[in-house]
Structure 1
Amino acid sequence: MNVVTPPPFSGPAAPDRVAFDRVEMGVILTVYGRMVAAGEWRDYGISCLREVAVFAVFRRTAEHPLYRIEKRPKLRQRQGMYAVIGMDGQVLKRGHDLKTVLRVLEKKLIRPVD
């Protein structure tokens, strides 16, 4: 009989991948729905990776994403785990609260009336 001893200092296991929870998806899809209704966006993609979850927004299906909404839990104690990144890779807004981070996208809906 073999006895397997547990490794020392085994804490809670880290998740295999990062994902958006139901509340976060509700906030993101609310903004997405408004932008689709305005005719700005047409498609999206979701990636759940080991260190980051990404919600990518596309104008057309075969393009590069216009915006990426990222969740990086490792940055929770620093600049905040949510970020909106533009097409060129520039961080447009980063923070701890998803709703305030997504406000940078809602500014795109405000247009002057002719």
Structure 2
Amino acid sequence: MTMHTPPQITPFERPPEQVAFHRTELSVILSLYGRMVAAGEWRDYGISCLREVAVFSVFRRTAEIPLYRIEKRPKLRNKQGMYAVIGTNGQVLRRGHDLKSVLRVLERKLIRAVE
């Protein structure tokens, strides 16, 4: 039996960069997600961690295009903000520096769904 040893990273090499949501960010997103599931609006989600963006995709049904994408792009931190909510057609619904305030655009839809 041969054991596979992971490649060693020298101090001069950088591991492949990947953007991911922090635990506190996921907590905020999953709180909204749970409320939308309870309201019957959302049914599934997917998370992608890529080189320049982390994406939380929300689906009404499995195996369809996402209703919304919540994106984190750290490179835009000093410009228009690293968080964005993007609709089905690719339109940016809201962008900003604070995740909770960016997600408010989706919470308005929750208020309408409950009424």
| TM-score normalized with structure 1 length | 0.85
**Counterpart of 1:29?**
30
Secondary structure in 1 aligned to 2:86?
strand
Structure 2: segments with no counterpart, 5+ residues = 1-10
Tell me which stretches of 4 or more aligned residues in structure 1 moved more than 3 Å: none
| TM-score normalized with structure 2 length | 0.84
From the superposition, tell whether residues 48 and 80 of structure 1 become closer, same or farther in structure 2 (CA, over 3 Å): same
**Counterpart of 2:8?**
none
Cα deviation code 1:3-41 (max 9, x no counterpart): xxx87xx9xx58610000000000000000000000000
Aligned alpha-carbon RMSD (Å): 1.9
Does 1:77 pair with 2:78? yes
Take 1:110 and 1:48, find their aligned partners in 2: how far apart are those partners?
30
From the superposition, tell whether residues 77 and 23 of structure 1 become closer, same or farther in structure 2 (CA, over 3 Å): same
Take 1:74 and 1:27, find their aligned partners in 2: how far apart are those partners?
21
**Counterpart of 2:48?**
47
Q: Rg: which structure is higher?
A: 1
Identity within the alignment, %: 78
From the superposition, tell whether residues 76 and 87 of structure 1 become closer, same or farther in structure 2 (CA, over 3 Å): same
Q: Which amino acid aligns with 1:89?
A: G
Paired residue total: 104
